[in-house]
Amino acid sequence: MGYPKTSREDNERWKIRFRNTLDRWLDDIEVQSQGEGQVDLRLEDLEDKFSENFLDAVEEHHRKNNSESAPLLPDMKSELRRRAQKSSVPNPEPEGPGILEVEAPEAPEPEESFWVRAWRSFMGMLQRLKQRLQAVLAWVREKVAAGWQALCSVAQFINSLLESFCSYMAGLFRYHIQV
């Protein structure tokens, strides 16, 4: 059994969706380029939209690749969404070197352009989003491990029942042969 694959078309469709979301955000902040606070508010909206896009992609992927099994339960969906919200990861610390590693926000340089500040804020948002989604992934892994452990426990129970049943039937068969 291998990992479910995502089609190239699905990947392209999701890339376009994220790109369109980013393009709309860039258009919005270009119009609002006078106020730093506006960029921060718009960035929060963008972060929420990216989170929603990721969660929608996860749900779609699960639906397409697990058609034989049960769909995501409503409480599991709501827990995933709750954990993906901004408040689920309090003040995440950057982990090791990476493409999204961002330094702590500094006071903007006087000669720093609006777009450089917007880029810096955007990269910080991506870091927060990445860490939040990594926390969601860790939670999913815990749930899968717990589910696997429960499944193994059930399998062991079934095995012990089968052994007991087979032993009983063998004894019963021996009894009938001796009679």
The span from the CA of 22 to the CA of 32, in Å, is 15
36 lies in some domain: yes
168 lies in some domain: no
Under DSSP, the state recorded for 72 is P
Cβ atoms of 17 and 50 closer than 8 Å: no
Cβ atoms of 39 and 29 closer than 8 Å: yes
Domain of 59 in residue numbering reads as 8-147
Domain count, the chain: 1
163 lies in some domain: no
160 lies in some domain: no
Mean pLDDT of 21-36: 77
pTM (2 d.p.): 0.65
89 lies in some domain: yes
pLDDT per residue as tens digits for the range 60-109: 877 777 666 666 677 877 888 888 876 654 544 444 444 444 444 555 56
pLDDT per residue as tens digits for the range 3-17: 555 678 888 888 888
pLDDT per residue as tens digits for the range 121-174: 889 889 988 988 898 889 888 988 888 888 888 889 898 888 988 888 888 888
Helix (H) or strand (E) holding 164: helix 114-178
The span from the CA of 131 to the CA of 137, in Å, is 10
42 lies in some domain: yes
35 lies in some domain: yes
Cβ atoms of 72 and 59 closer than 8 Å: yes
